[in-house]
Amino acid sequence: MKKIKRIGLLTGGGDCPGLNAVIRAVVKTANLQYNSETFGFQDGFKGLVENYGRLLSVSSVSGILPRGGTILGTTNRDNPFEFLVIENGKEEYRDCSDKIFENVEKLDIDALVVIGGDGSLHIANRLHKMGLPVVGVPKTIDNDLSATDVTFGFNTALNTASEALDKLHTTAESHHRVMVLEVMGRYAGWIALEAGVSGGADVILIPEIPYTMEYVYDKIKERRARGKMFSIVVVAEGAKPKGGEVVVQRLVKDRSDPVRLGGIGQKVSDEIEEHLEIETRVTVLGHLQRGGSPSPYDRILATRYGVGAVEMIMKGEFGRMVSLQTPDIVSVTLDEAVEKPRFVPVDGDLVRAGRSVGISFGDE
């Protein structure tokens, strides 16, 4: 195998805390341990297709470890296999993957690190099967990749949601209200579940357990009968009633998944207030969960992932993703990484623990 002289790097999909920590680890490991360069593509796959970015030196990544977001920019719109091209004022989608191979050759890039979630890693896997030497790094606050114990970004989002619940508790108790907190997670309920348990929620509604509002009402009434005049309800954005559908905020074109979820918190809040005649308020955390400085856990995990990605490249382990199989960082194939999403097991230990301490999941 030829010596790896230059590594390409991009951050794809939605931003999340810890991206800069991975970038820093890749650049420093490549340079300090292997005397190799790192070229960072701007704005995800868009930069890879349109050939813009910059060389990243050790000094250029100094100080970025605690910074949220990504110094390279990112996008969840620019799939190179369905890339928006405007020609003579007309929009059309084309397969521009050939541009990627041209640009990689022009820039003398020997291997590519793709930091992303399910969508970005699907693209990475497809490029690998076309012959591009690719290594993936798992990133998403949703924690829904099944081939790793945890994705970086999740812990920070969880801390944000838990802190919000702590603050909502005091105002809910003061005003004798029901407080509904809507959190992200797409079709997986990890943020809602873990934030709800850690934040002392009374009701947690997640996509994996379809709910019935009558059980939610019963939990709130049971608390009031015991003198608890307030309640905390955590709702995952992908939660849905039994026999019903998810609440869709709107459809967004140019994306692999055009569905933008949102609004379930307001729906649940309105139903509680109307049925129980109890003052109810809803808080939607939204992108607060994706921003801010990464937690110490995410900084460490992201650093381990970045180091692991470079080590895999140097060993010629392409078409694979770094993975945490506690306590070790190992590699799995990209096929395994994107084979299926990781959902909350409805009979798992954490759900059972929640039920044991009196949390309602709206199903009984």
Distance, in Å, from the CA atom of 239 to the CA atom of 258, rounded to the nearest integer, reads: 18
Amino acid of residue 23: I
Q: Please name the residue that has the structure tokens 């993936």.
A: 136
Distances (CA, A) of 301 to 41, 69, 126, 322, 347: 22, 16, 26, 11, 28
Q: Which of 43, 110, 142, 202 is catalytic?
A: 142
Question: Residue holding tokens 């793709």?
Answer: 114
Cβ neighbour number for residue 3 with a 10 Å cutoff? 9
Residues 27 and 56 sit within 8 Å (Cβ to Cβ): yes
**Residue 104: in which H helix or E strand, if any?**
helix 97-106
Per the annotation, the verdict on 108 as an active-site residue is no
DSSP, collapsed to helix, strand or coil, labels residue 360 as strand
Q: Which residues pair with 145 in a beta bridge?
A: 341
> Tokens in use for 80?
């190179």
DSSP label at residue 202: S
CA gap 345, 219 in Å, rounded: 23
Q: With contact defined as beta carbons under 8 Å apart, do 27 and 20 qualify?
A: no
Catalogue the active-site residues: 142
